[in-house]
């Protein structure tokens, strides 16, 4: 009996040892949990990053988030209300079937018919009609002029209309319905642990350099670094700022960085007569809201030493911000620079506004959402204290924080905004436009900042299809907002990756980690 057991155990061990040492296998450590493989289930960045490697979109983003042809070879607006997409010919799904316009039509329908929380209908609901002209031409009609159609189509994965029809979320997680046109084919998804993909040898674009890729979910930052140092993974994303300097000097490791589309900023409660967390210096509630005064808001901005935050808190892995998006994005104003640190100027503005001795305030921020979020809030609090504003800090878990912030319970609140669309209407309408339920504007305007002049420019921009005209309008709107200190930008994050020596990755502004863009050093 024991002998039998022993042989069994030995056999198991032996099989474990002779596991095929796969040629050219890549293992990547991811920093956030992937909750589903269904590309239309939950519109969250970690999920999208995986889905976009198995599925394609009509339009893809290049590493700087410029639009480039994906499954659509070209697109144009034939009139103010119609967009036409010419599709790529000869593309095959992983099951060998052909990709046609019917798949596009179905993929646009699907987000609206499956019941999910963070859905993809935001990309599809402007479309009132889909016209399949021929198998490789599709026209999308909208009710009002809609310039953002290409950006929206750069967010929607195309599934197979045959396989995905009626498929559930579970069918995608098991692989049954996970049939795309992308560079990788699905192998296995072990929840909370790993995702395994193999190369799609009949991919229409450049072939991946690896036969197989495994994404391991290692959400604890130091553990992810340790896994890289120990050689258990060959590449990791989201390198913690604290470890970056040391990794950079490590001879076995290469690091890759680029500016992120994510801007960290403060919302100031600027439209109410009283603000919940503003007191006099003794701690008694103030019956006036100093933040209504643009001079006080400007003083806040001047009091903040952005270079110190970048250098000390972010260890250099950030760029001081002067507007909503870093250089190179659509709608960035050439006239805006990051506010210069000027404590004397800040004190002067406070005096002018009638607060020569400052007042008391509590800053709120999350403590588990953005890179070093609670350290940033603390540093800002230090700086405000130095110009005479007695500042307290409360850092909360995001789950508690976001609900309270949405109810406008704070006086100053920190938020990070990733401009996934790569253009300025998105941050302007979400963060800065006057809050309006029917118009769907100002959804995340936590300061309830309101500037009718800016609203008018933005609304005009949202309906202008001509690119040059639209960009001008958006630049003007941004300048109005920033010069009025409607919100206070702090910095743009920097996206980071680290890999074992011998690998190269083209770093991306959109925080995606694409295995097919990891290549061995030539």
Partner 1 sequence: MSTSGVETPFRRVAADFAESRLAIAGLAMLILILIVAIGAPLVSPQNPYDLATLDIMDSKLPPGGKSLEGMTFWLGSDDQGRDMLSAIFYGLRISLGVGTLATVCALAIGLTVGLIAAWFGGWVESVIMRVVDLQLSFPSILIALVLLASLGQGVDKIVIALVAVQWAYYARTVRGAALVERNKENIEAATSLALPTSRILFNHLLPNVLPPLIVIATVQVAHAIALEATLSFLGLGMPITSPSLGLLIANGFTHLMSGKYWISLYPGIALLATIVSINLVGDQLRDVLNPRLQK
Partner 2 sequence: MLVFITRRMLQSVIALLFMSVLIFIGVFAIGNPIDILINPQADQAEIARATAALGLDQPMWMQYWDFLRHALAGDLGRSFSQNMPAVQLIFERMPATVELALCAMLFAIVLGIPLGLVAGIKPDAWYSKTIMAGSIFGFSLPTFWVGLMMIMIFSVSLGWLPSTGRGHTTQLFGIPVSFLNWDGITHLMMPALNLALFKLSLLIRLTRAGTREAMLQDYVKFARAKGLPMRRIVGVHVLKNIMIPIVTVIGLEFGSLIAFAIVTETIFAWPGMGKLLIDSINVLDRPVIVAYVLIIVCLFVIINLVVDLLYSMLDPRVRLAEARA
Q: Give the footprint of partner 2 on this chain (CB under 8 A).
A: 9, 12-13, 15-17, 19, 33, 35-36, 38, 41-44, 115-119, 121-122, 125, 169-170, 173, 190-194, 216-220, 222-223, 226-227, 229-232, 368, 397-400, 402-404, 406, 417-418, 420-421, 426, 429-430, 437, 440-441, 443-444
183 vs 427 by CB, closer to partner 2:
427
Backbone angles phi, psi at 319, to 5 degrees: -130, 130
Using an 8 Å Cβ cutoff, are 294 and 450 in contact? no
Site string for partner 1, 176-215 (x = CB under 8 A): ----------------------------------------
- Least distance to partner 1 from the beta carbon of 404, Å? 8
Name which of residues 302 to 361 contact partner 1 (CB under 8 A).
Answer: 305, 308-309, 312-313
Using an 8 Å Cβ cutoff, are 57 and 71 in contact? yes
Site string for partner 1, 221-250 (x = CB under 8 A): xx--xx--x----------x-xx-xx----
- Least distance to partner 2 from the beta carbon of 289, Å? 25
What is the size of the binding site for partner 1 (CB under 8 A)? 35
* Distance of alpha carbon 499 from alpha carbon 255, whole angstroms: 6
If you compute the radius of gyration of the chain from its CA atoms, what whole number of angstroms results?
Answer: 25
Per DSSP, which regions of 7-147 are E strands?
25-30, 56-57, 59-61, 67-69, 72-79, 82-87, 127-134, 137-142
- Least distance to partner 2 from the beta carbon of 250, Å? 11
Three-class DSSP category at 74: strand
153 binds, among partner 1, partner 2, none (CB under 5 to 8 A by kind): none
- Least distance to partner 2 from the beta carbon of 236, Å? 11
SS (HEC) of 197-221: EEECCCCCCCCCCCCEEEEEECCCH
- Least distance to partner 1 from the beta carbon of 339, Å? 17
Name which of residues 246 to 285 contact partner 1 (CB under 8 A).
Answer: 246
* Integer angstrom CA distances of residue 321 from 263, 417, 489: 7, 12, 6
Using an 8 Å Cβ cutoff, are 368 and 396 in contact? no
* Distance of alpha carbon 13 from alpha carbon 16, whole angstroms: 5
Alpha-carbon dihedral sign for residues 103, 109, 113, 114: positive
Tokens of 504: 């190269």
* Neighbour-count burial of 498, counting CB atoms closer than 10 A to its CB (0-12 exposed, 13-18 middle, 19+ buried): buried
173 binds, among partner 1, partner 2, none (CB under 5 to 8 A by kind): partner 2
Name which of residues 367 to 426 contact partner 1 (CB under 8 A).
Answer: 367-368, 374-375, 378-379, 381-383, 385-386, 391-397, 399-400
194 binds, among partner 2, partner 1, none (CB under 5 to 8 A by kind): partner 2
Using an 8 Å Cβ cutoff, are 237 and 260 in contact? no
312 binds, among partner 1, partner 2, none (CB under 5 to 8 A by kind): partner 1
List residues near partner 1 by CB under 8 A.
221-222, 225-226, 229, 240, 242-243, 245-246, 305, 308-309, 312-313, 367-368, 374-375, 378-379, 381-383, 385-386, 391-397, 399-400
């Amino acid at each position: 009996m024991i002998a039998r057991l022993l042989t069994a155990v030995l056999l198991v061990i032996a099989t474990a040892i002779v596991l095929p040492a796969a040629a050219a296998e890549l293992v990547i450590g991811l920093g956030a949990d992937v909750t589903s493989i269904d590309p239309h289930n939950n519109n969250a960045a970690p999920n999208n990053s995986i889905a976009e490697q198995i599925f394609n979109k009509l339009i893809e983003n290049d590493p700087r988030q410029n639009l480039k042809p994906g499954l659509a070879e070209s697109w144009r607006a034939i009139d103010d209300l119609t967009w036409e997409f010419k599709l790529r010919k000869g593309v095959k799904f992983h099951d060998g079937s052909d990709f046609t316009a019917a798949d596009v039509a179905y993929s646009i329908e699907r987000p609206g018919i499956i019941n999910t929380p963070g859905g993809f209908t935001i990309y599809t609901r402007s479309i009132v009609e889909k016209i399949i002209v021929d198998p490789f031409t599709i026209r999308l009609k909208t009710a009002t002029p809609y310039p953002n159609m290409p950006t929206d189509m750069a967010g929607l994965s195309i599934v197979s209309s045959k396989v995905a029809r009626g498929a559930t979320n579970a069918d995608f997680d098991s692989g049954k319905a996970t049939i795309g046109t992308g560079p990788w084919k699905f192998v296995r998804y072990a929840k909370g642990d790993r995702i395994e993909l193999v190369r799609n040898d009949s991919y229409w674009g450049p072939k991946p350099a690896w036969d197989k890729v495994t994404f391991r979910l290692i959400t604890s930052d130091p553990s992810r670094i340790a896994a890289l140092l120990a050689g258990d993974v060959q590449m990791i994303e989201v390198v913690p700022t604290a470890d970056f300097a040391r990794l950079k000097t490590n001879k076995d490791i290469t690091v890759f960085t680029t500016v992120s589309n994510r801007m960290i900023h403060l919302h100031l409660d600027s439209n109410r007569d009283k603000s919940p967390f503003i007191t006099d210096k003794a701690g008694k509630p103030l019956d006036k809201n100093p933040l209504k005064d643009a001079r006080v808001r400007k003083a806040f901005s001047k009091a903040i030493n952005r270079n110190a935050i970048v250098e000390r808190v972010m260890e250099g892995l950030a760029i001081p911000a002067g507007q909503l998006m870093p250089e190179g994005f659509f709608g960035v104003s050439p006239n805006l620079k990051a506010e210069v640190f000027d404590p004397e100027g800040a004190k002067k503005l406070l005096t002018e506004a009638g607060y020569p001795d400052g007042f008391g305030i509590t800053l709120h921020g999350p403590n588990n959402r953005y890179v070093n979020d609670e350290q940033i809030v603390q540093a800002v609090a230090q700086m405000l204290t130095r110009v005479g504003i007695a500042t307290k800090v409360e850092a909360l878990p995001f789950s508690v924080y976001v609900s309270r912030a949405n109810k406008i319970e704070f006086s100053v609140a920190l938020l990070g905004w990733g401009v996934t669309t790569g253009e300025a209407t998105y941050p302007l309408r979400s963060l800065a436009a006057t809050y309006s339920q029917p118009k769907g504007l100002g959804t995340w305007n936590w300061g309830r900042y309101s500037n009718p002049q800016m609203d008018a420019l933005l609304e005009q921009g949202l309906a202008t299809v001509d690119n040059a005209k639209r960009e001008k309008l958006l630049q003007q709107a941004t300048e109005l907002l920033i010069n009025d200190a409607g919100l206070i930008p702090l910095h743009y994050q920097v996206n980071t990756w680290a890999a074992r020596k011998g690998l190269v990755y083209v770093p991306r502004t959109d925080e995606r980690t694409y295995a097919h863009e990891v290549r061995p050093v030539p």
